[in-house]
Amino acid sequence: MNRTAILYIAERCNQKCVFCLEEDGEWSEFVDPTTQQVYDVLDRLHGRGGRHITFMGGETFFRKDLPRIIARAKQVGFTRVGVTTNGTVLSKPGFIANLTKAGLDFIELSVHGHDEALSNLISRNKVTFDRQAKAMAEIDETGSLFTIVNVVICTENKANLIDVARYVCDTLAHVPVKFKFKFVSLQGWALDRARGGEQTALRYEDVDFIALAEFLRARNARFWFYNVPLCYLGEHATRSHELGVVSIDERYFDMDHRGPNEYYDSGHQLEGRLWPTSSCAECSTLPLCPGIEESYRLANGSCGLRPRGDDPIELVRWALGDRGGDPSHAEQRLAELRQLPRPASFIRNRPEGALRFKHPDEAIPFDITVDPREGDKPGFALTERFVLGYRSRSEADRQPAPHLLALLERAARILTDLDAAGATLEQARTAIMAAPAEGWIAELQTVAARPERKRGKLAVLQPTTATATGE
């Protein structure tokens, strides 16, 4: 199967969008790869089956070598090449034409407002609307450049989504367009603003998804919804991105964070997702639904969710046909999806090398990390060569309960003694796992050194589908 590659090539951006995911304190700094490094990755991605590719950032168009990179992708053998952008750099006359000559086939353009006030408010850049309007005029003049329009649904534009859709439809009247409406994810700046009390976190019930879908359907517009539980989409549940992803089993290959044979669902990752028993257990579409993010539950609860009762097989059939699959396989695929676990409580994936422990008084596991001591790296306990830390699951863990504290102190004593005795890092980890504090049970797993944490802006591969590429 051909796959779609995603390659991050730029960090810098000229906007500071109020919901920016990239402003995540857990990520280390991303360094733009050189032109040659990009070329090398293109060769590897093509060798692993990539035939379509999307370049992402940051703002990709800040790279002066972008035309060369696009041309190189075509030379390597990629048959469909696209880029993501906020559009503000595309306003220069002739720029789009030069890129299409280099081999550009499609563009993903972020448009979050329909007028100057809203657009510039969200982007926190006073020239965004004007430059995007000029860029859209340039795109429209091509008459053929397929354009995916990304719209993040946030507090600022929740009441103007139809206005945004109308603006885009009218402005890009001569090119094929597909909308991606994504409900804001509580990460990065969006999470910081909610935690700091600057803004109340957006709720699903604050958005009229049905009215938006009706407008788009009346305009014969193509569209997806991202990060929206199916119970809020009514008859438009077929427009759920995650429904299409799980139905076709669309997955991407992560070259850096996972091993050579490990995959993630590109739109249906279970990490950080919940399907609360109180509202989702009886839902007929549970195997197809993206659920809610843990950060959303912490901010808003889950009382707005309600079970659906329609036959999910029809949704799977529709999604398979829409994504280029075989609708006759719907029953088999639904049976497979029903076997996948849907956690009612949040259990975060264990970082590689972390030591996981369970306790009868704790609903979710507790992860301890033991790493080499480097510089002034903070931790719960420091020895001459090692640092002992733990991953907080909630604000309460910043002041651990007595049984949590007992586990950490026990691990710290073991680490101190073994460091003084000259033990290796792996010996220390093994000893901590073998002798937890009273009441705790170690969850055994092969202990391996954790790789250096890298920003999640990497090259990935996912199966090529007609919907994903706009064909």
**pLDDT score of 396:** 57
**345-386: pLDDT as tens digits:** 666 666 667 898 988 887 678 889 999 998 777 788 999 999
Pairing label, strands 146-153, 106-110: parallel
CB 343 within 8 A of CB 275: yes
**384-442: pLDDT as tens digits:** 999 998 877 665 556 778 899 999 999 999 999 999 999 999 999 999 999 999 999 99
**pLDDT score of 259:** 37
**pLDDT score of 329:** 94
* DSSP assignment of 100-128: HHHT--EEEEE---SSHHHHHHHHT-TTH
More confident residue, 163 or 369: 163
CB 412 within 8 A of CB 379: no
**98-142: pLDDT as tens digits:** 889 999 999 999 999 999 999 999 998 898 999 999 999 999 999
**315-339: pLDDT as tens digits:** 999 999 988 889 999 999 999 888 8
d(CA 319, CA 324): 9
Question: Is the pLDDT assigned to residue 264 strictly greater than 60?
Answer: no
Question: Is the pLDDT assigned to residue 303 strictly greater than 90?
Answer: no
- Over residues 25-46, the mean pLDDT reads 75
Question: Is the pLDDT assigned to residue 246 strictly greater than 50?
Answer: yes
H helices within 183-341, ranges in order?
A: 188-195, 209-218, 241-248, 277-280, 294-300, 312-322, 330-338
With a CB cutoff of 8 Å and minimum separation 6, the contacts of 92 are none
- Over residues 308-318, the mean pLDDT reads 95
**pLDDT score of 346:** 65
Question: Is the pLDDT assigned to residue 466 strictly greater than 50?
Answer: no
**48-96: pLDDT as tens digits:** 777 888 898 888 888 889 999 999 999 999 999 999 998 888 777 778 8
More confident residue, 283 or 252: 283
**pLDDT score of 113:** 96
Determine the residue type at 342. R
Helix orientation angle between 402-420 and 425-434, rounded to the nearest 10 degrees: 140
Range with lowest mean pLDDT among 52-66, 133-147, 273-287, 438-452: 438-452
More confident residue, 423 or 466: 423
Q: What is the largest CA-CA distance in the chain?
A: 73
- Residue 32 sits at the vertex; the CA angle it makes with 28 and 35, to the nearest 5 degrees, is 155
**pLDDT score of 464:** 43
Q: How many residues does the chain have?
A: 471
**pLDDT score of 251:** 54
Question: Is the pLDDT assigned to residue 256 strictly greater than 80?
Answer: no
- Over residues 453-468, the mean pLDDT reads 41
Nearest-Å Rg of the Cα atoms of the chain is 24
* DSSP assignment of 136-191: HHHHHHHS--EEEEEEEE-TTTTT-HHHHHHHHHHHTTTS-EEEEEEEPPS-HHHH
